Amino acid sequence: MIYTDTYMGKNAQKDSGKNGLTVYKDYDGREIHLTESRWRHIVVGHPEMKEWRSYFEFTLSSPALVVQDEQVETTTYYFYLLPCKLYLMVVVDWSEAPAMVKTAFRVKRPKEGKILHVTKPSRLV
């Protein structure tokens, strides 16, 4: 069964099966998966992320910037400017299908790398 919950907006879906899988769509309509076990891993290392999970959908579907890692071409960084004036960075692994969220945390400025997508450059403080 697939449903939405309070962590997600209209473009994200959650599978109520044993994985606790959340499926997001990025700015280009591609699926990116976040498992419940990966979410737990993220909040263990970055407990402040609990309050920012609702921003994952915005970060992936309407990012301010998407950058490809300089060493690992299958890793991309999605950035979204949060109300607290920090960026939410969601790291996505594209090495296998479906793409998977690796980690996420807040950063002061976007990571350098090959720019894949820019939205509203004025938001890049």
In which domain, by residue range, is 111 found?
A: 2-123
- Cβ proximity of 114 and 76 under 8 Å: no
User: Which residue matches tokens 């960026």?
Assistant: 87
- Cβ proximity of 109 and 120 under 8 Å: no
Is beta strand 31-34 parallel, antiparallel or unpaired with respect to 99-107? parallel
Considering its fold, how many domains does the chain have in total? 1
The pLDDT-based confidence of 120 (bands split at 50, 70, 90) is low
Task: Check: pTM over 0.75? Answer yes or no.
Answer: yes
Hey, is 13 helix, strand or coil?
Answer: strand
* 3 vs 36, residue with greater confidence: 36
Q: How far, in Å, CA of 85 to CA of 125, rounded?
A: 8
Judged by average pLDDT, the poorest of 4-8, 94-98, 112-116 is: 4-8
Q: For 90-106, what is the mean pLDDT?
A: 97
Question: Residue 24 has which token pair?
Answer: 């997001």
